[in-house]
Amino acid sequence: MDKISVIVPIYNAEKYLDRCVVSIVRQSYLNLEIILVDDGSSDKSQEICERWVRQDKRVKVIRQTNGGVSRARNQGLAHATGDYVVWVDSDDYLLEDMIAILYATLKNTGSDMSVCDYEAGRIDNYVDKHGSEIIPEIITSETAMMRSYTDAHMALQYIAPWGKLYKRSLFDDITYPDGKIFEDIYVTHQILFKCASITVVHQKLLYYYLHDNSIMHREFHVGKLDYLEALKNRLAFFEKEGLKGLADVAYDEYMHSLVWEYSRTRDLLHDKDAMNMVKDRFRHSYKRGRGSHRYPQETAFFLAVFNYNPELIVLYWMVKTKFSRLLGGVKR
């Protein structure tokens, strides 16, 4: 039975950490190496980690001064001795057979990675109701990457580190970028690209816990614009590897995100430096005469106007909004 390294990056997670670790130690697959990486927590997370070391010999703790989730992931990988890797966020939890199912399907299909579905919400005792009769699906890496552009649910399913069983060798020449918030967007497509095949288990075997203090739900700030660089890097990667279909989709996503973030940096942050950064990124990547296929409202004319002067698009939105409200108030 192959050893599987389960790595949990932790920062001030005392409220959720026990539930997370319980779901790991109770996995039906037993040959686990459970690595808890404490990223300089100031709450009781360290005490909880130490308690688990005493309770289960498979658990070990790595401590580091606070350096962010990327550094915690890289530390976990550096200490992992398993043949396979599973990531778990400290506020999420696994269904009892998640690792066993992902391992069995990966071995049966000869894939390099297996991926499961997930449920998102705020409950503590989710149970998947699909049962075990669902037939796994084998897909290519290109299909997996394309699915990440389908909708928000699939974006997390295929791009987030969790909910997957990886061959350890997939990380041999890959590390997470230090100091970045959306570290997964920088890295996951590179890992997927290395897979000859990927097995998808259409069962919700992980619970993605939503809470107000998560990165996704924290108040918008300039640091969150990290992902724009990640989107640009991903686009460049697809172009370099000759993945035209993915490059086209990635281009639309990148340009749309720049338009959206210009609006947010303007109206929420009132940050001229950030606005200029977004505007410069857009102008650097803008392709004359090209409209978005993913976002039909962003026609070639729309993008050309934004490239010329983003404030004209802001004015257009303001007029359109006022006109819509005016029409909405007219009785018919």
Domain ranges in the chain?
Answer: 4-217, 222-328
Q: How far is CA 225 from the centre of its chain?
A: 15
| Residue 221, pLDDT score | 73
- Considering the four listed CATH numbers 3.40.1800.10, 3.90.550.10, 3.40.190.10, 1.10.357.10, the one that applies to the domain covering 4-217 is 3.90.550.10
Q: Is the pLDDT of residue 320 over 90?
A: no
- Our CA dihedral for 84, 89, 94, 98, rounded to 10 degrees, sits at -20
Query: For the chain, what percent of residues have pLDDT higher than 70?
Result: 93
Q: Is the pLDDT of residue 102 over 60?
A: yes
Higher pLDDT, 295 or 329: 295
| Residue 119, pLDDT score | 97
| Residue 61, pLDDT score | 98
Q: How far is CA 310 from the centre of its chain?
A: 29
Average pLDDT on 289-306 reads: 95
Average pLDDT on 120-140 reads: 87
Distant-in-sequence, close-in-space partners of 146: CB < 8 Å, separation ≥ 6: 245, 246, 249
Average pLDDT on 292-319 reads: 93
> What distance in Å separates the CA atoms of residue 329 and residue 332, rounded to the nearest whole number?
9
| Residue 323, pLDDT score | 66
Q: Is the pLDDT of residue 327 over 70?
A: no
Using alpha carbons, select from 283, 214, 287, 275 the residue that is nearest to residue 248: 287
Average pLDDT on 32-45 reads: 98
pTM here is: 0.92
Residue 198 φ/ψ, nearest 5 degrees: -135, 135
| Residue 213, pLDDT score | 60
**pLDDT tens per residue across span 214-262:** 544 446 678 889 999 999 999 999 999 999 999 999 999 999 999 999 9
**pLDDT tens per residue across span 40-91:** 999 999 999 999 999 999 999 999 999 999 999 999 999 999 999 999 999 9
Distant-in-sequence, close-in-space partners of 212: CB < 8 Å, separation ≥ 6: none
Buried b (16+ CB within 10 A) or exposed e, 249-262: bbbbbbbbbbbebb
Query: For the chain, what percent of residues have pLDDT higher than 90?
Result: 84
Residue 247 CB: number of other CB atoms within 10 A? Answer: 18
> What distance in Å separates the CA atoms of residue 212 and residue 180, rounded to the nearest whole number?
20
| Residue 133, pLDDT score | 65
> What distance in Å separates the CA atoms of residue 28 and residue 26, rounded to the nearest whole number?
6
Average pLDDT on 148-154 reads: 96
